[in-house]
Amino acid sequence: MKRLLSVLLVLALLSAAVPALAETTLEKIARTGTLTIGTRRASPPFGFVNKNNEWVGFSIDLVEQAIKPVVERKLGKPVKVEKKESTPATRIPLLATGAVDLIAGTMTDTRPRRESVDFSLTFFVTGAQFLVKKGSPIRGIQDIAGKRIAAQQGSTNARIIRERVPGAQLREFPDQPAAFQALTQGQVDAYTNDGIQLAGLKAKAPTPADWVIVGDFYSYEPYGMALRKNDSDFRQVVNVGLMEAIESGKYAELYEKWFGARGEVPYPLTPENQRFLQMQVVPK
Amino acid sequence: MTYQFQWSVLWSGQSGSWLLQGVLTTLGISALAWVLAAALGILSGALRTVPWRSLRAAASFYVEFFRNVPLLVWMFFWYFGVPPLLPRPAQEWLFNHGAEFWAGTFALGVYHGARMSEVIRSGIQSIPRTQFEASVAMGLTTFQAYRLVIVPIALRLIVPPATNESLNLLKNSSVALTISVAELTFQTRQIETYTAKAIEALTAGTLIYLVLCVSIASVMGWVERRVRIPGLIARGG
């Protein structure tokens, strides 16, 4: 037992010693020549593996086409972007331990999360809804008491359901495919997630016409890119990248590519959200 | 590492009750799965040593099939694969009464039963053949010889590897979170969701698993000393 305690003590000391060696994210990128991002493999169209087995998406494009050029300009040398899978449960530890430098997926900016990580500007706005089989009696959050509802583990939606409708039988799955499988087979009556994710899931389903997205947004989900806390130089670079993209029309171009009428998941940008994005761009 | 530790998230708010619920679910699913695994393990372990070829073959098939497919696959099999075989009202009833818990129990129990079987078989095969022959010569049938002589001795010999297997079973119960069973690991993630303090939550989970496993190991150590057969198993330490 004594030996065990001393091993634990050494581990604790090691983890305490790490901050002394810390370098800023920009220094790390300059040293390694790599910007490592944490993103998703199964959240179309933000980050997913497409039919040609390529790992692509809107969030990935924003990093590669809007943020990477600004990082390169700042460092004066080319960098490459490396992608890693990050789930809601792993993304903050991945960031904190330095395994990734930026979370560019589908992460909602929240106040508790801001105590652990910093966020970029909001790059996408959505809200939670329900995906149900065509003909289901569920029409929104008012109908789910006593029903079996799937949600994504570690998401803000599960938390809201638990607080607002304690009578709902919540089943939380670690990823979308398992939750969708449960919905298909009837283990659950509805699957709740951010509206845009449900739209992505529906578009990718074998028969999209069998599924309906119902309900008003019962939550506000502003997506931001997360980065390590107290690294304002890197945050500035990320934000400048996003601002320049919104200003130059690059953002609109990428939005059209993924969410336009012919995009992966058609989801028109509302005038309200467009205005919100533009208001975040501060003057040059 | 610019991470600020905030250990109070583990006892403030609902974290404590979530962890407790998680521990209870983990213990519940593990205990039921363990009973299933022990029953299947003793049965198939014994069958692998009997003098009848077809029974040996059936037991070998069970062991090789179930231990060589990853546990995660078995979780999905019992949760997604089995219910569609039932009539619709039975499915509906099951889905409202913790289908994921039972699927997880079966997945764990059947998988670990196959592994336990090998532990028991090695126990049986370590008993000199003459024990079995003597039992039969005394007039016992093969079934009686196994039930009254061979299996009881084997079980007393295999306490250390069986402890190992039981601890593995307990820890493997965390795989059930993939089919939405709210066990301990699931609850640590839940704390992470509410507080965004993942490292604290994971540490709490790790320590709880450690305490559970060390407690089980020490109980089994006591059992081992109680049931050891002088002359057949050397006294350790």
Q: Largest alpha-carbon pair distance within chain A? A: 65
Give B54-65 pLDDT, tens digit per residue: 999 999 999 999
| Range list of H helices, chain A | 2-21, 25-32, 58-61, 68-75, 91-96, 111-114, 156-164, 176-185, 195-204, 232-248, 250-259, 271-279
pLDDT computed for residue A17 by the predictor? 44
Contact partners, residue A42, CB within 8 Å, separation at least 6? A48, A49, A175, A176, A177
Per-residue pLDDT tens digits for B104-116: 999 999 999 999 9
Residue of A nearest to B190 (CA): A154
Interatomic CA distance for residues A277 and A127, integer angstroms: 16
SS3 label, residue A43: strand
What average pLDDT does range B47-71 have in this prediction?
95
The residue extents of the domains of chain A are 23-126+222-279, 128-214
pLDDT of residue B2: 58
Q: Which CATH number fits domain A23-126+222-279: 3.30.450.20, 3.60.9.10, 3.40.190.10, 3.30.70.260?
A: 3.40.190.10
Nearest CA in chain B to A14: B1
Same fold, A23-126+222-279 and A128-214: yes
Q: Measured between CB atoms, which of A159, A228, A230 is closest to B194?
A: A159
Residue B4 clears pLDDT 70, i.e. is over it: yes
Question: How far does the CA of residue B86 sit from the closest CA of chain A (Å)?
Answer: 12
Q: Which amino acid is at B226?
A: R
Distance CA B134, CA A282 (A): 92
* Measured CA distances, A37 to A94, A191, A204 (Å): 10, 28, 24
Q: Looking at domain B13-227, which CATH architecture does it have?
A: Orthogonal Bundle (1.10)
B193 and A110 within 8 Å at the Cβ level: the answer is no
Share of chain B above pLDDT 90, in %: 78
Sign of the dihedral through C-alpha A81, A198, A179, B189: positive
Between chain A and chain B, the number of residue pairs with CB atoms below 8 A apart is 96
Q: Across residues B11-33, what is the average pLDDT?
A: 92
Distance, in Å, from the CA atom of B1 to the CA atom of A98, rounded to the nearest integer, reads 7
B192–A92 CB contact, under 8 Å: yes
The structural domains of chain B, with segments of one domain joined by +, span: 13-227
Q: Please tell me the distance from the alpha carbon of residue A4 to that of residue B206, in angstroms, as a whole number.
A: 14
- Which residues of chain B make contact with A186, given a CB cutoff of 8 A? 91-92, 95
CA–CA separation, A128 and A151 (whole Å): 10
Could you report the per-residue pLDDT of B117-160, keeping only the tens digit for each?
999 999 999 999 999 999 999 999 999 999 999 999 999 999 99
Top-level CATH class of A128-214? alpha beta
Neighbours of A33 (CB within 10 A): 11
In chain A, residues 203-242 whose CB comes closer than 8 Å to chain B: 228-231
Cα Rg for chain A, rounded, in angstroms? Answer: 20
CB contact under 8 A, A171 and B177: no
Reply yes or no on whether the pLDDT at B237 is more than 50. Answer: no
The per-residue pLDDT for range A36-88, each reduced to its tens digit, is 999 999 888 999 999 899 999 999 999 999 999 999 999 999 999 999 999 88
Tell me the C-alpha distance between A56 and A38, whole Å: 13
What type of residue is A6? S
The Cβ of residue B167 has, within 10 Å, a number of other Cβ atoms equal to 18
pLDDT for residue A195 is more than 50? yes
Which of A112, A187, A230 is opposite residue B95, by nearest beta carbon?
A187
Residue A8 in contact with partner chain B when CB distance is under 8 A? no
Please list the alpha-helical segments (H only) found in A76-139: 91-96, 111-114
Query: Which pLDDT belongs to residue A19?
Result: 45
Cβ distance of A185 and B83 shorter than 8 Å: yes
pLDDT the model gives residue A56:
95
CB atoms within 10 A of CB B172: 18
CB contact under 8 A, B83 and A96: no
